[in-house]
Structure 1
Amino acid sequence: MIYYKTEEEIQVLREGAEILGKAHGEVAKLIREGISTKELDKRAEEFILDNHGKPSFKGYNGFEASLCISVNSVVVHGIPSKYELKSGDIVSVDCGVFFKGYHTDSAYTHPVGEVSAGIKKLLATTKESLYLGIEKATAGNRLGDVCSAIQSHIENQKFSVVRELVGHGIGKSLHEAPEVPNYGKRGSGIKLQEGLVIAIEPMVNLGTKSIVQENDGWTIRTKDNFPSAHFEHTIVVRKEQAEILTTFKYIDKEEI
Structure 2
Amino acid sequence: MIEILSPTELPRARRSGALVADILQSLRSRAGVGTNLLEIDRWTREMIDGAGAQSCYVDYAPSFGRGPFGHHVCTSVNDAVLHGLPHDYDLADGDLVTLDLAVSLEGVVADSAVSFVVGGSAPQESLDMIAATERALAAGIAAVRPGARVGDLSHAIGTVLGEAGYQVNTEFGGHGVGSTMHQDPHVANTGRPGRGYVLRPGLLLALEPWIMADTADLVTDADGWTLRSATGCRTAHSEHTVAVTEDGAEILTRPTPALP
When normalised by structure 2's length, the TM-score is 0.93
What letter is aligned with 1:38? L
- Distance in 2 (CA, whole Å) between partners of 1:211 and 1:192 is 30
Considering fraction of residues, name the structure with more helix: 1
**Unaligned stretches of 5+ in structure 1?**
none
- Which letter does structure 1 place at the counterpart of 2:17? A
User: Residues 186-241 of structure 1: CA distance to partner in whole angstroms, max 9, x if unpaired?
Assistant: 11111111111110011111111111112221111111110111111111112322
Aligned residue in 1 for 2:71: 65
Equivalent position of 1:52 in the other structure:
52
Aligned partner of 2:149 in structure 1 is 142
* 1:225 is the counterpart of 2:232: yes
| One-letter amino acid of the structure 1 residue matched with residue 196 of structure 2 | G
**2: CA distance, partners of 1:212 / 1:8:** 43
Q: Which whole-Å CA distance do the structure 1 matches of 2:246 and 2:16 have between them? A: 23
Residue by residue, what CA displacement relative to the aligned partner does 1:124-157 show, whole Å, maximum 9, x if unpaired?
0111100110100111111111001110101101
Q: 1:91 to 1:234 in 2, by over 3 A?
A: same
Deviations 1:104-141 (A, max 9, x none): 11000111122111111111011110011010011111
Give the RMSD, CA atoms, in angstroms: 1.3
The partner residue of 2:178 within 171, 184, 207 is: 171
What is the rounded CA distance, in whole Å, between the counterparts of 2:87 and 2:38 in structure 1? 5
Paired with 1:239 and 1:125, the residues of 2 have a C-alpha distance of 28
SS of the residue corresponding to residue 199 of structure 1 reads: strand
1:77 match: 83
Residue type matched to 1:164 in 2?
E
What does residue range 1-256 of structure 1 map to in structure 2 within 5 Å?
1-61=1-61, 62-113=68-119, 114-248=121-255
* Maintained 8 Å contact 2:82/2:228: yes
C-alpha contact (below 8 Å) 2:18/2:254 kept by paired residues: yes
Unpaired segments of 5 or more residues in structure 2? 62-67
Question: 1:248 offset after TM fit, Å?
Answer: 4.9
Q: Name the amino acid aligned to 1:87.
A: D
- Gap change, CA 1:248 and 1:74, over 3 Å in 2: farther
> What is the number of residues matched between the two proteins?
251
TM-score by length of 1: 0.94
- Provide the C-alpha distance between the structure 1 equivalents of 2:236 and 2:247, rounded to a whole number of angstroms: 29
Alignment match, 2:64: none
Opposite residue 178 of structure 1, the aligned amino acid is P
Paired residue secondary structure (1:132): helix
For 2:228 and 2:236, locate their aligned partners in 1 and report how far apart those are by CA, in whole Å. 11
Structure 1 residue ranges, 4+ long, deviating more than 6 angstroms after superposition: none
- Contact 1:26 1:44 (8 Å CA) reproduced: no
Task: Among all aligned residue pairs of Structure 1 and Structure 2, give the percentage whose two residues are the same amino acid.
Answer: 32
